[in-house]
Amino acid sequence: MSRYFTQDHEWIDVDGETGTVGISDYAQSQLGDIVFVEVPEEGKSLSQGDDAAVVESVKAASDVYAPVSGTVIEGNAALADDSSLVNSDPEGEGWFFKITLSDASELDQLMDEQAYAAFVEKL
């Protein structure tokens, strides 16, 4: 499985043609306590960069963008009951949605973990 990051702090774990998407630990730390998450519905078609989900914290509401194009196959239903999963495990159980990739070459535009770490250090 490969993990990629966007400059907007989304991550995607890619396994074959399926990607699992969430926000980075850096993003959740900037947002503060997460109070609400809206994930996309199954079957929703997304293009790279589209608004895909919404995350609200005590500080702000932010859009979560699709790191790649594809079709949503699952939203993380656990977040409806416990949005704090995004704070406690942002790059694990706090994932937002799963997507079937329609163009794997879009991954070339994203950062690997090392490049993302260097990107965050400069912020």
84 pLDDT above the threshold of 90:
yes
In DSSP terms, 46 is beta-bridged to 70
102 pLDDT above the threshold of 90:
yes
**Mean pLDDT value of segment 88-100:** 98
pTM for the model stands at 0.97
Q: For the chain, list the strands marked E by DSSP.
A: 2-5, 10-15, 18-23, 34-38, 45-46, 51-57, 61-65, 70-75, 97-101
93 pLDDT above the threshold of 90:
yes
Residue with tokens 């907007």: 8
Structure confidence at residue 74 as a pLDDT band (50, 70, 90) = very high
Distance CA 83, CA 13 (A): 20
In three-state secondary structure terms, 65 is strand
- Which pLDDT does position 66 carry in this prediction? 98
- Which pLDDT does position 1 carry in this prediction? 82
In the chain, what are the domain boundaries?
A: 2-104+111-116
Phi then psi for 27, rounded to 5 degrees?
-60, -45
- Which pLDDT does position 116 carry in this prediction? 98
**Mean pLDDT value of segment 23-44:** 97
9 pLDDT above the threshold of 90:
yes
Pairing verdict, β 10-15 and 18-23: antiparallel
In three-state secondary structure terms, 25 is helix
- Tell me which fold the domain 2-104+111-116 belongs to: OB fold (Dihydrolipoamide Acetyltransferase, E2P) (2.40.50)
Asked whether the CA dihedral 36, 42, 44, 48 is positive or negative, the reply is positive
**Mean pLDDT value of segment 78-104:** 97
